[in-house]
Amino acid sequence: MSIDLLIIGGKPYAGKTTLSESVGETRGASNPTHHLPMGERLRGIAAGQIPSKYFEEVSASTEALKRHDPVPKDVTIDVFEEFIGLHPEGGLTILDGFPRFPDRLHGFQESVKRIGARVLAVCHLDVLDEVVFQRNEDEGREQRYADVDEGRPFLEERLRRFRAETLPTMRALALDYPIYRLEGTRSIEANTAELIDIIESNSEPVSIK
pLDDT in tens, 92-134: 999 999 999 999 999 999 999 999 999 999 999 999 999 999 9
Q: Is 138:130 a contact under the CB 8 Å cutoff? A: no
Q: Is 126:181 a contact under the CB 8 Å cutoff? A: yes
pLDDT in tens, 136-176: 888 666 666 667 788 899 999 999 999 999 999 999 999 99
The answer to whether residue 205 is domain-embedded is no
How many residues would you count in the chain?
209
The answer to whether residue 78 is domain-embedded is yes
Q: What is the structure's pLDDT at 24?
A: 94
**CB-CB neighbours of 19 under 10 Å:** 24
The answer to whether residue 115 is domain-embedded is yes
Q: Please give the distance of CA 47 from its chain centroid, rounded to a whole number.
A: 20
**Structural domain boundaries enclosing 168:** 3-199
Mean predicted confidence (pLDDT) in 21-41: 93
The answer to whether residue 50 is domain-embedded is yes
Provide the percentage of residues in the chain whose pLDDT is more than 70.
92
Global pTM value = 0.91
Q: Is 51:36 a contact under the CB 8 Å cutoff? A: no
The answer to whether residue 208 is domain-embedded is no
Q: Is 173:109 a contact under the CB 8 Å cutoff? A: no
The answer to whether residue 206 is domain-embedded is no
The number of distinct structural domains making up the chain is 1
Where residue 99 sits, what CATH number does that domain have?
Answer: 3.40.50.300
The answer to whether residue 204 is domain-embedded is no
| H or E element in which residue 125 lies | strand 117-126
Task: Report CA-CA distances (Å) from 86 to 34, 52, 82, 89.
Answer: 10, 11, 7, 9
pLDDT in tens, 171-197: 999 999 999 999 999 999 999 999 999
Q: What is the structure's pLDDT at 30?
A: 85
The answer to whether residue 207 is domain-embedded is no
